[in-house]
Structure 1
Amino acid sequence: MSNNQFIYQMVTDKILEKLRQGVAVWRQSWVNMFPVNWVTQKPYRGVNLFLVEPGEYATLKQIKDAGGRVKPSELKNSSVVVFWKMLKYKNDDPDSGDEGDGQKLVPYLKYYRVYNVGTQCTGIKPKGLQLQKRNQHTPIKAAEQLIKNYKDAPPVYYASGRAYYSPKIDRISMPPIEDFDTPEDYYATKFHELAHSTGHKSRLDRDLQEIAAFGDECYSKEELVAELTAAMMCGIAGIDGSTLDQSAAYLDSWIKQLEDDPRLIVNAAAQAQRAADYMQGITY
C-alpha cells in the first residue's frame, strides 16, 4: 500500500468512526454575505436576493464612470436586479372612491442589468465595506502545492459569499481566504470544490447532474465523493486533524445510507481516491 493509499484509508476510517460516535452540527466556516450595490454598498432586498449571488454589483454605466470595464467574455452574462416603490399620483376622478388627499398610490417597477465587480470586471475592485471581518491568514505551503499539481483545474473566481462548482461552465467560485475562520477551513472548502471539478466530462467523467447550480446543498453521491476527497487531500497536506470533525458533520446525513449499504462508502471512497490522485497528477 502506497503512502497516499494509507492516508486515504485512514481518513475514511476516521470519518466513519466519527459518524458512528455522533458529531456536532456542521457550520459554515466563512463570512455570510449578501449581494450589495457596489456604489452605495447597500444590500439588495426582496426578490433580488434570489436573482443575484452574493457580491458587489454595478451597472455598465456605473462601471464605466468609475474607470472600469466589463470583461468581454462576461458582457452577455449580466444579472438582473429589480427596483420598485410606490409613487403618489393626484387623483382627479371624483368617482374613483379614493378618499383623503385625493392621491392614489401606483407601483413603479424598473429593472437594471448589473455585473459582479469582483468576478466580471477589470479596473475596479469590490469595496468590501459590508464585511463583518477580514482575517489575516498565512497560506499553507503543502496545500498550495497540491493545488498547483492539479494541472488542468478549472478557473477559480474569488468573491465573498458562497462556494460552489458549476459543471456547466466548468468554473469554481470561492470566498477569499480572508473570509474564513481558519486557513484550514479555506483549504478544506477549496479541495471540496476542486474535487467536484474532477468529475467534469473532460476529466474523470462522473455524473454531475445532481450538483446544484449555485452551491445549494444537494445530498447526492457526488457530495459524498467530494467531501471524502477533500478530507483525503487535507490529510496529505497534513491538516486533516482540524478538518475531520467538519467533514464528518457535513456528511452526518449519510449515516443511515452508509449503514444500510456498506458498499456505498467503499464505492465513494474509491472514486474519491481517483479524484485525489487525479488532482495530484498521479496516473495509473
Structure 2
Amino acid sequence: MTREHRAARKSGPRTNLYDDITDKIIAELEEGRLPWVQPWGTAAAQAPLAMPRNASTGRQYSGINVLILWGAVIQQGYPTQHWLTFRQALSLGGNVRKGERGTTVVYADRFTPEDEKRRARETGEDANSIPFLKRFTVFNVAQCEGLPDDIAIEAPPPPPGLIEPRVEALIAATGIDFRIGGNRAFYVPALDYVQVPPPQAYFEPINWHRTALHEMGHYAGSGIMPTSQALCCNCRPKSSLRSA
C-alpha cells in the first residue's frame, strides 16, 4: 500500500484504529527504522533494550504496543522505556511538559454483556463475548517533569565487562557526577557533571575509555581555573561511534 493510498484512507469520515497502527508500522519500515531492533549505533538509540513498562503500575506493555513504543523510543531518541498516562503523571506529583505530544497505544480485551450472560444461563449454552479495542495516549517519562526520583529517567546501564574495572574505580573515587547516555561527550561546568555516550556505541572499548578520561580531564581542570573558563568539549565522537 502506497503512502498516497494510506493518506486517502485516513481522509475518510472515521479513522480505523487497526489501520492507524498498521500505517504507523509500515511508515517506520519505509523510513528504514525497524522498531523491534535496538540500533546502538545511532544517535536515537539512547534507551536500554528492554520491554516497555508503565512507570506507575510496573506492568509491561504487550502485543502490538511493544512495537509502537519501541518505534517511538527510536524515532524520538527517548532515554527510557518507561511510560505514563497524563493522569498517572499528575498522580505521581509530576506533569507532562507543555507542548509534548503523546504516543497512542491500544488495549484489547473481550467483554460479555449482561443480557448474553442471562441467555447463557437460561439455555445452558456458552456465553458469547464481544472483542473491543480502546485507544490510550501515553507519554515517555522523559516528556514529564517533577516526577519522584525513583521514576525519573535512568541512564542506560552498560553490559558487564565493557568498562575497565580500574577506570570504573577511578571514576567512582573522584566522586564526579558521571552520566552515561545520549550521543555526545561533554563536561558541563555550570552543573558540574560529565556525560559520555554508552560504551555500546563505540567500535572499540578503548575509544570509550579515551573519551571518558578526556572529559574527566575537563572536570579536573575546572578545579584549577575559574568555572566560567572551564573547558567543555560539547562534541560528538564521530570517528569512534558506531555507524548505523
The structure, 1 or 2, with the larger RCO (C-alpha pairs under 8 Å, 6+ apart) is: 1
Tell me if TM exceeds 0.5. Answer: no
What TM-score does the superposition give when structure 2 sets the normalisation length?
A: 0.41
What TM-score does the superposition give when structure 1 sets the normalisation length?
A: 0.36
Q: Which has the higher helix share?
A: 1
